[in-house]
Copies of this chain bind each other. A is one copy, B any other.
Amino acid sequence: MDTGQTNVHRQNGVALWRQIADRIRASIANGDYDATGKVPPEFTLAAQFGVNRHTVRSALAALAQEGIVRSVQGRGTLIERKERLNFPITRRTRFSEGIGDQAREKEGLLLHSAREPASVDLSTRLRIPEGAQVIRLETLRKADRRPVSRSTTWFPADRFGGIEEAYSKSGSITVAFRMLGLSDYLRVSTEVTATHADGADLADLQLSPGAIILVARALNTDTEGVPIQYAVSRFPADMVQFTIEN
């Protein structure tokens, strides 16, 4: 829709090759090169961005490192991977159902769990007394073997004791809830922001530095409206989009 015919900016703390890598990555995700399945020749890109060919090569090398493109001498630079998962945010938002058939293989990994007293902020959101025990789960979700989200999620400990194991076994919050006798729940609010990926994101989500992540802070309640879960999830912005249907 928007052609983005803007040129690249110098001396701003972001190296030219990285700016160009980001632009090319976005163009690939946007489907701009679908006709050929290839990125335009280095020479062409260099002219387009107004930089030296070597600078473009640095950008393509970075994308190759990410596994997004693969350069073949004599042929060109082929697009290896191209994806943007869509996450609907509705009153009945569930991670695994949300992906639907956009991915064949879905996985939920429990990285870490802990019990701790609720902070002021958290106790307000979950409507529990300040300092009350909560269970915190650190989880990583994958679709087709690629990490798509890194979540920190809290549950009131008195009501959901044992959810660590339930999640660990099932890899699904929905199923874990069901194992603990909660058959249904609702998403009441979601806050969405965006930020640069930090070190933990880079490692867990297998991103390259400078990457952008979408941050969703979500509150779920049971059907009575009692808060049962607060979650902060981080998604790679170039792989994911949110859709809100009203």
Contact = CB atoms under 8 A, between A and B. Distances in A.
Interface of A: 1-2, 4, 6-7, 9, 12-15, 17-19, 21-23, 26, 62, 84, 89-91, 93, 119, 121-122, 152, 186-196, 198-200, 202, 208-210, 212-214, 232, 237-238, 240-246
B209 A9 contact: yes
Contact of A210 (B14, B121, B242): B14
Given A152-B2, A243-B191, A244-B244, A208 B119 contact: no
B199 A1 contact: no
Given A194-B194, A195-B212, A198-B6, A18 B26 contact: no
Residue among A6, A7, A193 with most chain B CB within 10 A: A193
Contacts of A190: 243-244, 246
Contacts of A246: 89-91, 93, 186-190
Nearest to A26: B195
A199 B14 contact: no
Nearest to A88: B189
Contact of A189 (B119, B238, B243): B243
Given A4-B198, A121-B1, A194-B237, A189 B244 contact: yes
